[in-house]
């Protein structure tokens, strides 16, 4: 790679400009960790631990099981689970079978999960034994290609005594009953041999993961991420992250073999949590604390603080709402959080005051980055050295990554340094394309100087030091606590209500989640309705973070000359009103 603007004095010393060695199967990182550190702990869940050797053994058994069920290379297999210790075993098992993993948000309602299963053509799904999640799965597989359902119980990975007491007291979550033919995870593992198939995997051209995103339209699309896409992002992060345990010492890369503990607080169905927590912990042979419900505890989020103190967490990767939950927790001063040394933040801008308070209370360093589902996800990161980072920016392009600022009309004309335009990225982490949507690929890819660039839909510019500054979003998406809520999808759900004539959904500022969903509704003539009526209506159709926090009824909504509701007008009106 030729020298770029960002390869200047602020580029971290000792970090190469390019990344190598990513053209191999993603599951190789588990195999290497199990080979080099077999007895080191990978997952921690309620004091129960699983070593890398044990995780690999189970992944190998699951691969053999999937093959026995007729799963072939390229077939899709879904995971519908929160952050449980089963997750990495299932994820790597799917890949070892040559199949493609489809991660599903455990908060999905039936219609949302059904769409994802049908669109991906998933032939199997792993679901949680739970009063809510399992019945959702049973309904969602109807009309899909799913032939195999494996039910996962938390009891599998609890200490023996807790498992016994939990069963006796009825505290272990489980469904009331299971459908005939659905298999239990423990039975599957016990009856399978650790003998995955021998496969030749083209890491660059073979999908490892289909991760759903709404893109610019709100219609969910599956980003096809190859083994090489994901592995290049993991390796790049490994090279980039430099910390010094002593201010007098030179910063160095994270030690391997159990030297660190990652907080698994971000969901692993999400690209940020998957790549920068679950996979990065694996390549570093580090411990990973499973947090299936960050809200657990009294008051909420107390369980996360307890986990940090108990397991001496050193690395945290999270979104701004998580850091806000830390600093605003009423009991934070009662917990020892001094083990944390470094934190990454993404998905939304992190307020400077939150950075200051968090670093003051923990002594850790937070560095912001930027990326998208389609980029595995990271394309820029701030230096981890507090003297080199630039608060207010999202950092510099990752290793082997080129970013251009292009015109908003065509996406083909590179703009002068310092001028705002659309952010376009080229690198080994950029997705192969969207699943079964060649038309969508044409919208987001451009060939510039003989290379393929992905149009992010975000607007920004480079400063004089090569740091990327994001100034606006071309997309209409709403980021609620780090999760993408797509207006069109929410509007479609509201349009199903018989009283609705027109509806528009926008994001409004929210001190807790960064943004919240607000719906503007124009009722049909002579109809009357209440806000509570619509909030209840949304509960049955949308995941919690997608549901409108506020609903405003209007006699009419602003529309364009062709009748399109103008979301931006409503958003601007709302922002102006909140300034007063």
> What CATH number does residue 567 fall under?
3.30.300.30
Instruction: Note whether residue 400 is domain-resident.
Output: no
Could you read off the pLDDT of 362-371 as tens digits, one per residue?
999 999 999 9
- Give residue 197's domain range: 50-202
* Predicted pLDDT at 168: 46
pLDDT at 19: 97
Q: Residue 124 falls within a domain, yes or no? A: yes
Q: What is the pLDDT of residue 578?
A: 84
Q: In which residue ranges of the chain is pLDDT below 70?
A: 160-170, 214-218, 245-247, 473-475, 560-564, 580
Q: Is 23 helix (H, G, I), strand (E, B) or coil?
A: coil
Q: Report how far apart, in Å, the C-alpha atoms of 361 and of each of 323, 328, 337, 339, 342 are.
A: 11, 11, 8, 11, 13
Please name the residue that has the structure tokens 């670093």. Answer: 359
Q: Is 142 exposed, middle or buried (0-12, 13-18, 19+ CB in 10 A)?
A: exposed
Inside any domain, residue 450: no
pLDDT of residue 347: 81
- The answer as to whether 247 is a domain residue is no
Helix boundaries (H) for 73-122 = 86-96, 110-120
Q: Answer with the one of 183, 202, 221 that is the final residue of a domain.
A: 202
Among 202, 220, 249, residue at a domain's last position: 202
Q: What is the pLDDT of residue 166?
A: 56
Residue 471: the pLDDT is 82
At 303 the pLDDT is: 97
The pLDDT assigned to 393 comes to 94
Helices (H) and strands (E) in the chain, counts: 17, 29
Asked if 63 and 196 touch (Cβ cutoff 8 Å), the reply is yes
Whether 351 is in a domain gets the answer: no
Could you tell me if residue 513 is inside a domain? yes
**Contact (CB, 8 A) for 261 and 286:** yes
Q: Is 514 helix (H, G, I), strand (E, B) or coil?
A: strand
Q: Which of 148, 171, 202 is the endpoint of a domain?
A: 202
pLDDT reported for residue 287: 98
Domain membership flag for residue 336: no
Specify the pLDDT at position 453.
98
For residue 64, give the CATH number of its domain. Answer: 3.40.50.980
Give a yes or no: residue 172 inside a domain.
yes
- Give the total number of structural domains in the chain: 2
Query: pTM of the entire structure?
Result: 0.86
């Amino acid at each position: 790679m030729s020298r770029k603007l960002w390869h200047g004095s602020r580029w971290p010393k000792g970090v190469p400009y390019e990344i190598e060695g990513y053209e191999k199967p993603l599951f190789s990182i588990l195999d290497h960790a199990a080979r080099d550190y077999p007895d080191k702990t990978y997952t921690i869940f309620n004091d129960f631990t699983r070593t890398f050797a044990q995780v690999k053994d189970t992944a190998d058994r699951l691969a053999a099981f999937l093959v026995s069920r007729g799963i072939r290379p390229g077939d899709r297999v879904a995971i519908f689970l929160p952050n449980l210790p089963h997750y990495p075993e299932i994820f790597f098992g799917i890949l070892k079978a040559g199949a493609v993993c489809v991660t599903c948000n455990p908060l999905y309602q039936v219609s949302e999960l059904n769409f994802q299963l049908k669109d991906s053509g998933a032939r199997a799904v792993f679901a949680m034994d739970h009063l809510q999640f399992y019945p959702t799965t049973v309904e969602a597989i109807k009309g899909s290609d799913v032939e195999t359902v494996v039910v996962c119980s938390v009891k599998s990975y609890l200490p023996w005594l807790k498992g016994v007491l939990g069963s006796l007291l009825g505290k272990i979550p489980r469904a009331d009953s299971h459908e005939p033919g659905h298999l239990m995870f423990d039975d599957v593992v016990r009856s399978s041999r650790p003998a995955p198939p021998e496969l030749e995997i083209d890491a660059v051209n073979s999908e490892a993961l289909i991760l759903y995103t709404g893109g610019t339209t709100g219609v969910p699309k599956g980003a096809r991420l190859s083994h090489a896409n994901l592995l290049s992002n993991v390796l790049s992060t490994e090279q980039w992250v430099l910390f010094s345990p002593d201010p007098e010492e030179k910063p160095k890369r994270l030690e391997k073999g159990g030297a660190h503990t990652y907080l698994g607080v971000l969901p692993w169905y999400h690209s940020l949590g998957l790549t920068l927590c679950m996979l990065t912990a694996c390549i570093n042979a580090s411990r990973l604390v499973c947090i299936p419900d960050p809200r657990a505890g009294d008051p909420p989020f107390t369980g996360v603080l307890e986990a940090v103190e108990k397991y001496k967490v050193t690395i945290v990767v999270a979104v701004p709402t998580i850091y806000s939950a830390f600093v605003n927790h009423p009991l934070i001063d009662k917990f020892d959080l001094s083990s944390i040394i470094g934190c990454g933040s993404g998905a939304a801008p992190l307020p400077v005051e939150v950075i200051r308070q968090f670093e003051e209370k923990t002594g850790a360093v937070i560095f912001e980055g930027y990326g998208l589902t389609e980029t595995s996800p990271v394309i820029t990161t701030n230096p981890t050295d507090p003297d080199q980072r630039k608060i207010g920016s999202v950092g510099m392009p990752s290793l082997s990554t080129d970013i251009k600022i292009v015109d908003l009309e065509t996406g083909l004309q590179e703009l002068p340094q310092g001028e705002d335009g659309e952010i376009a990225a080229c690198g080994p982490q950029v997705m192969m394309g969207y699943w079964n949507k060649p038309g969508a690929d044409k919208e987001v890819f451009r060939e510039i100087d003989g290379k393929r660039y992905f149009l992010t839909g975000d607007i920004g510019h480079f400063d004089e030091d090569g740091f990327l500054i994001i100034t606006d979003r071309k997309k209409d998406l709403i980021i609620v606590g780090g999760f993408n809520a797509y207006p069109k999808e929410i509007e479609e759900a509201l349009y199903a209500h018989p009283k609705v004539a027109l509806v528009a959904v926008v994001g409004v500022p929210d001190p807790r989640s960064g943004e919240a969903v607000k719906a503007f509704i124009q009722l049909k003539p002579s109809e009357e309705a209440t806000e509570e009526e619509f909030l209840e209506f949304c509960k049955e159709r949308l995941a919690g973070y997608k549901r409108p926090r506020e609903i405003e009824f209007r006699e009419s909504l602003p529309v364009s000359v062709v009748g399109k509701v103008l979301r931006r007008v409503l958003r601007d009106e709302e922002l102006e009103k909140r300034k007063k």
